[in-house]
Structures are given as C-alpha cells and as structure tokens.
Amino acid sequence: MRTIKKATALATFALAIGVCGSAGAVTIDGSFSTAEWAGYYSTEDWVGSNGYVGPGYGGQSFDVEYLALYMDGNDLYFALKTGFNVTSGVLYNGYLYKPGDFAIDVNNDGVYDYALDFSVSGSTASYSLYQVTAWKNSMYAQHAAADPFEYKTATTSSPLLSFTGSEGTSGTSYVLEGAFDMSYLTLYNGGPVTLHWTMECGNDYLNVTTTPVPEPSTIMLLGGGVLAAFGFAGAMRKRRQG
C-alpha cells in the first residue's frame, strides 16, 4: 500500500515537471505540435460535414484550429494554426476576407490592450505590436463572440516593436509562431494574459489564457521541498518500523 502511494506521488511530480519541460521546448519554426505547446493551447477543431466552425459557417478555410500562448520569464511565445490563409486572405463570393490581428488582454480585465499586426512573406511573418485605443469588430453582428477583429487606432502611429517569426503550412492549415519580450507590454501588472484571434468575417475564433511559469530557481526549490518531504516520510517510517 505504501509503495503504491509513493509511486503515485512521484508520477504526479514528474508530470508537473514534464509539462514545464515540454513547453520550454517551443521552437519558432512554423511547425505547430500539441507536444511542444502542451498545457498552453486551446483548440476547437471543426469536425463534421456541415461546415459550421462557430459562430459561423465556412468549413476548413475559416477554421481556427489551435491558439497557443506561453510565458517564459520575460519572453512571451505565441502560435496559431488555422485553415484560413494567413498569407493572402481568403477570396469567397468575390470578396477577399483578411486575417485579423492577434489581440492581447493583459491584467485579465476583458479589455484587449495590444494588437499584433502581421504580414507574411515566404516562411517569415513580420509582426508589429501596437497599444490599442479602439478596435474594429468582425463584419457580422451575429458573430460578436469573435470580436475584436483588428485594431482601429493606437496610441502611436508607429509600432512599439517590430520583429519576425515563422510561417509554415501543414496540409490545408497555416501556422504562425513568434515570440517577443514582455517588457514592451508596459501596461502589464503580472498575472494571466489572454490571446485572441479571428478573421474579418468572424466565422471562427479562439482565445487562450496563460499565467506566468515559475522561474527555474522556483521549480528547483519546489522540487527540493518535495524531495525533502519524501525523505522525511521515509525517516518516519523507518523510525516506526525500528
């Protein structure tokens, strides 16, 4: 009985460390895997044949598949996997629908504070970070759940930060990945951060919220504490048996 209990506790401990380790292995290469973003993504794949992707219709071309966000110390990593063509947009019934900006809510108050605008050339995605004063919503009122779509006005006309990430394709899906220094999010006071993405028509969208990962030193201290507790329990058992 004792042995089983101890083994379970050790497995739980290893799992907790494993989650931290796998997300630490995120690589910005335009290739999205659920293993590299384990514990830090949301998903709501389109399944079935009616084309409903939520809150609208459109099938694979308008399907948002994965949205990921991971905070590692001062670095913020993000990724998107979608059936929507993020390079050229999607032409449908003579109208070219644009991909939206990534919207970022810091301080967990339901207000999106920053926009990551992007353009794609080859396998490189170029990003511009803006502090937003007003947003544009998606084009249909019945898709309000997918709002906002892209930034309308910002505190400055020039971006706070420009950087590059990676773009890739996976079957009929497109992948965007990038990372930037969180110090550019000057409104951030700690705690959870939410990332949001949709396209112009708002047919589909995803949100993902993440909280900061403890620094490696904290994890080591935590691990040391758990091991010390095991040592203590072992000593107690020996004393009782002896």
CB of 108 to Ca ion, least distance (A): 7
CA dist., res. 56 & res. 96, Å (int): 17
By CB under 5 A, name the binding residues for Ca ion: 27, 29, 31, 44, 46, 53, 63-64, 105, 107, 109, 111, 113, 204
Torsion of CA 47, 52, 56, 61, to 10 degrees: 70
CB of 194 to Ca ion, least distance (A): 8
Question: Looking at beta carbons only, is 64 or 76 nearer to Ca ion?
Answer: 64
Question: Looking at beta carbons only, is 9 or 20 nearer to Ca ion?
Answer: 20
CB of 230 to Ca ion, least distance (A): 36
Question: Looking at beta carbons only, is 200 or 204 nearer to Ca ion?
Answer: 204
| HSE-up (13 A, CA, CB side) for residue 126 | 6
Question: Looking at beta carbons only, is 63 or 101 nearer to Ca ion?
Answer: 63
* CA angle centred on 142, ends 118 and 41, rounded to 5°: 45
Question: Looking at beta carbons only, is 191 or 234 nearer to Ca ion?
Answer: 191
CB of 177 to Ca ion, least distance (A): 5
CB of 215 to Ca ion, least distance (A): 23
**By the 8 A CB rule, do 98 and 235 touch?**
no
CA dist., res. 174 & res. 61, Å (int): 10
CA dist., res. 238 & res. 233, Å (int): 9
The single-letter code of the amino acid at 124 is T
- Beta-bridge mates of residue 199: 99
